[in-house]
């Protein structure tokens, strides 16, 4: 039984993409917490040692090999010392009790770009006031915003709601803007323009009736991927709370077009939520046509998310 459990654990991690999502989103739920299945290995090992089962101990090599193949690359430090731009993405939290303190922490980071999500009407003026000195350029579209040290232009909301449900075409534009959760803008730098997307995809829920409910999030991911695919600028940065990990199949439409910075230039898993005991990385920084240099998670603010930061550079010129 122990040997069979070890083999099943290895197969579960190896073949997670084949777990159907039709049964209450089970596939996406498993993929969200996929790294944590490695904790079952020492549990099975202790049981094997207690039973003195050599077969079970050998069988555990299968899940160990699978886990290392999937996540071993995250354990080392892949960061490089210099970057042309430093960017931060932070879901500041609608219930944040100290938006001024959060803004001061972010301003002190030295980042060139700050993407803030869940910016409420009440807190917006606080963020604008506290960040104005360091970031003279800003745009806020609905509940998402970008603060920049460099000029912005061609800013527009991105419809990740896809006119679904109560926010369809029957609603006036100013009402729909109240619910806007994504934007696109151009950041002008000395090396040329960057297309920057800031996105907060729909929340996911676990409930007895629907299981792992991700319909809003998945629909938003497809809409955002379509916008990125149509983006004419070859250099793109996506900053946001995607309410999903890069292991989750629902984000394949984005990772097929953008490179997750933390996977290429991070150190460790970079879990960002919940702030008090991070279990998953749902706050992402992705790029196209740029070189990931570093990735890190910053200290907690008043939000239930941790800020994530990345160093990004222009690709080396080809001879």
CB 147 within 8 A of CB 116: yes
In total, the chain counts a number of residues equal to 319
Distance CA 139, CA 197 (A): 12
179: Cα separation from own chain's centroid: 20
Instruction: Tell me the C-alpha distance between 317 and 319, whole Å.
Output: 6
Q: In what order do the strands lie in the sheet with 283-288?
A: 152-157, 182-189, 192-200, 236-241, 283-288, 259-260
DSSP 8-state symbol, 156: E
pLDDT at 207 (0 to 100): 87
The arithmetic mean of pLDDT across residues 45-64, rounded, is 95
Res 317: pLDDT: 59
State the Cα–Cα distance between residues 34 and 28, nearest whole angstrom: 10
Per-residue pLDDT at 16 exceeds 90: yes
Q: What is the pLDDT of residues 185-215, one digit of tens each?
A: 999 999 999 999 999 999 999 988 889 999 9
Distance CA 244, CA 219 (A): 13
**CATH placement of domain 85-313:** 3.60.10.10
Tens-place pLDDT, residues 282-306: 999 999 999 999 999 999 999 999 9
Q: What is the per-residue pLDDT across 82-133, written as a single tens digit (0 to 9) for each?
A: 899 999 999 999 999 999 999 999 999 999 999 999 999 999 999 999 999 9
* Contacts for 96 with CB less than 8 Å, ≥ 6 apart: 102, 118, 123, 301, 302, 303
pLDDT at 162 over 80: no
Average pLDDT, the chain: 93
Helix (H, G, I), strand (E, B) or coil at 165: helix
Predicted TM-score (pTM) of this structure: 0.93
DSSP states of 277-318 as a string? S--B--EEEEEESSEEEEEEEPPP-SSSS--EEEEEEPPPPP
- Where in the chain are the domains? 2-74, 85-313
């Amino acid at each position: 039984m122990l040997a069979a459990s070890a083999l099943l654990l290895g197969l579960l991690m190896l073949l997670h993409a084949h777990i159907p999502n039709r049964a209450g989103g089970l596939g996406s739920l498993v993929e969200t917490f996929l790294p944590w299945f490695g904790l079952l290995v020492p549990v099975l090992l202790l049981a094997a040692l207690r039973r003195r089962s050599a077969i079970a101990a050998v069988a555990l090599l299968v899940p160990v090999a699978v886990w290392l193949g999937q996540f071993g690359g995250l354990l080392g430090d892949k960061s490089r010392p210099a970057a042309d731009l430093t960017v931060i993405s932070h879901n500041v939290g609608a219930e944040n009790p100290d938006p001024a303190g959060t803004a001061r922490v972010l301003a002190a980071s030295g980042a060139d770009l700050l993407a803030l999500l869940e910016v409420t009407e009440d807190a917006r003026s606080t963020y604008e006031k506290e960040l104005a000195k360091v970031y003279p350029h800003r745009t806020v579209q609905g509940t998402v915003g970008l603060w920049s040290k460099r000029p912005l232009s061609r800013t527009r909301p991105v419809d990740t709601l896809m006119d679904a449900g109560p926010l369809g075409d029957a609603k006036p534009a100013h009402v729909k803007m109240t619910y806007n959760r994504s934007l696109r803008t151009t950041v002008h730098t000395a090396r040329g323009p960057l297309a920057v997307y800031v996105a907060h995809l729909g929340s996911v829920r676990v409930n007895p009736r629907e299981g792992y409910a991700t319909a809003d999030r998945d629909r938003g991911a497809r809409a955002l991927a379509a916008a990125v695919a149509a983006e004419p600028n070859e250099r793109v940065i996506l900053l946001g709370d995607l309410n999903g990990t890069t292991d989750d199949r629902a984000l394949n439409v984005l990772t097929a077009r953008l490179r997750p910075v933390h996977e290429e230039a991070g150190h460790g898993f970079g879990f960002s939520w919940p702030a008090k005991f991070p279990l998953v990385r749902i706050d992402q920084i992705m790029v196209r046509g740029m070189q990931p240099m570093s990735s890190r998670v910053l200290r907690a603010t008043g939000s239930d998310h941790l800020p994530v930061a990345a160093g990004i550079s222009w690709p080396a010129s080809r001879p």
